[in-house]
Amino acid sequence: MTAPPPAPLPPLAGGTAGADALRPLIDTVLDALHTGARARGGPLPAGGPDTVTARVTAALGDLLPDHGTGDHEALRTLVHTLAAGAADPADPLCAAHLHGPPLAVAAAADLAASALNPSLDSWDQAPAASAIEALVTTTLAAEFYDTPHPDALITTGGTEANQLALLLARERHGPTLTVLHGTNAHHSIPRAAWLLGLPPTTALPTPTGTLDPARLAEALDATRGPVLVTATAGTTDAGLIDPLEPLADLCTHHGADLHIDAAYGGLLALSPRHRPALTGLQRAHSITIDLHKLGWQPVAAGLLAVPDTTLLAPLAHQADYLNAPDDTDAGLPDLLGRSLRTTRRPDALKIATTLRSLGRDGLAHLIDRTCALAHHLAHLLDAHPGFELHAPPTISTVLFRPTPDTTATTPADDDHIAALRRTLLHTGTAVLGRATTDGRLWLKATLLNPHTTPQDLNTLVTLLEGSTHR
């Protein structure tokens, strides 16, 4: 009996034939994204976790069948299912988290990164990608530091960047380093100290939402040994910015290092209108930036910037198969000290493409427009008798609470607000966050979609009005 011919090998994404193989598959993906979004019909799938899980399970069936269904069927089914069940940050009513809609140009660049699959742990895996990353990191670092040799590392986001900042501080000062931060700091700061074996961090009360210089001065006076102060430019709950210049003055006076977690607010530096809010940022020993927030990049796109590249020296590491000394001496770039990760995708490509496509003025326009939208929403809520506005937004986060009815003078209770948010999620009509401040629970709208219109915000307020007063 003659053996059947072997099955054809599936095509690869790279090489000279890669583009031809990808083109029809991309059409299938784009069609499935479209049909999935139409099936969802809103910012979130309706029905809640159990319903969504049941839909996914039913659509996928046997995920590892004995015989494959083929590329197009698999893509059509999986991508449609993903899109139909997505929390879509491109929908104006999806405004809960610091999770922005990526620009199309950045997502397109990310396709190329996936197709070519460079790994930035050795030059021979990523010749051009390593050069692009070097240009991105020095270019962006120079936006935050006016120093001769600023530098930055690409990270997976703010959490990794904060961990690196504490690691570098520990290597400068030793394992007895004291970390001071406000209670408004991101949870990754105390967690990084725990991961690094540092003493538990000291959280200073922030009753007004930002770190009080007077309270920090007291803590610095009472602390012995090396200190790292971490300030925040864009808090997770309310988007507030600590008084960076006075805090930097105190750190200079006491000989303490300063790290600023500007994952949310750091890119305000690209906007002439909003840059003054970051006065003092350039005085930090390190700065965390997230470009998948106000930079509109696909996750992940983080950055840790430093004023001088020598500050990154403690990350140097050697493994013969990646950066043998004789290869480095012969001129091959040593990439292993650019991250704690080994295999590392070229996230710099989508960032570089966006910077070139939009330029500084294009990015500033998106930032200014997004912040203006937050102020517009705040104005609508403040003028509405059914809502209580917490405060005008600092960046693009708006905190508010419904009142029980249009004539009430006392706010709705926290249980009602929490239940309202979950009802909106369950029905798939709106995605809002939650934040506790002033001892009360608030709804949180985090606006990161520059395509949102004033009419979209009117629709949101009308929707909330109907939901809160039924």
Q: Residue 380 and residue 116: Cα distance in Å, rounded?
A: 47
- Sorting pLDDT into bands at 50, 70 and 90, what band is 406? very low
**The predicted structure's pLDDT at residue 408:** 46
Share of the chain above pLDDT 70, in %: 97
Neighbours of 288 (CB within 10 A): 33
Secondary structure class of 94 (helix, strand, coil): strand
Sheet holding 440-446, edge to edge: 94-95, 431-437, 440-446, 397-402, 387-389
**The predicted structure's pLDDT at residue 1:** 62
302 closest CA partner among 424, 421, 175, 186: 186
Answer whether residue 181 shows pLDDT above 60: yes
Quick: pLDDT tens for 304-327: 999 999 999 999 999 999 999 999
Taking each helix axis from N to C terminus, what angle separates 18-40 and 104-116, rounded to the nearest 10 degrees?
140
Question: What is the mean predicted confidence (pLDDT) over 193-221?
Answer: 97
Q: Residue 307 and residue 208: Cα distance in Å, rounded?
A: 30
Quick: pLDDT tens for 222-234: 999 999 999 999 9
Answer whether residue 411 shows pLDDT above 90: no
Question: What is the mean predicted confidence (pLDDT) over 147-171?
Answer: 98
**The predicted structure's pLDDT at residue 407:** 44
Helix (H) or strand (E) holding 387: strand 387-389
Q: Residue 43 and residue 83: Cα distance in Å, rounded?
A: 11
Take residue 58 and report the two structure tokens written for it.
Answer: 């039913």
**The predicted structure's pLDDT at residue 373:** 98
How far, rounded to the nearest angstrom, does the alpha carbon of residue 154 sit from its chain's CA centroid? 13
100 closest CA partner among 431, 391, 440, 419: 431
* Mean residue pLDDT across the chain: 95
Phi, psi of 228 (to 5 degrees): -115, 120
By the 8 A CB rule, do 202 and 215 touch?
no
Take residue 373 and report the two structure tokens written for it.
Answer: 């939208």
By the 8 A CB rule, do 239 and 186 touch?
no
Query: pTM for this one?
Result: 0.95
Lowest-pLDDT range of 59-73, 163-177, 400-414: 400-414
**The predicted structure's pLDDT at residue 409:** 47
Question: What is the mean predicted confidence (pLDDT) over 66-87?
Answer: 97
| DSSP secondary structure letter of residue 210 | S
Q: Residue 160 and residue 303: Cα distance in Å, rounded?
A: 9
Question: What is the mean predicted confidence (pLDDT) over 257-279?
Answer: 98
Neighbours of 436 (CB within 10 A): 11
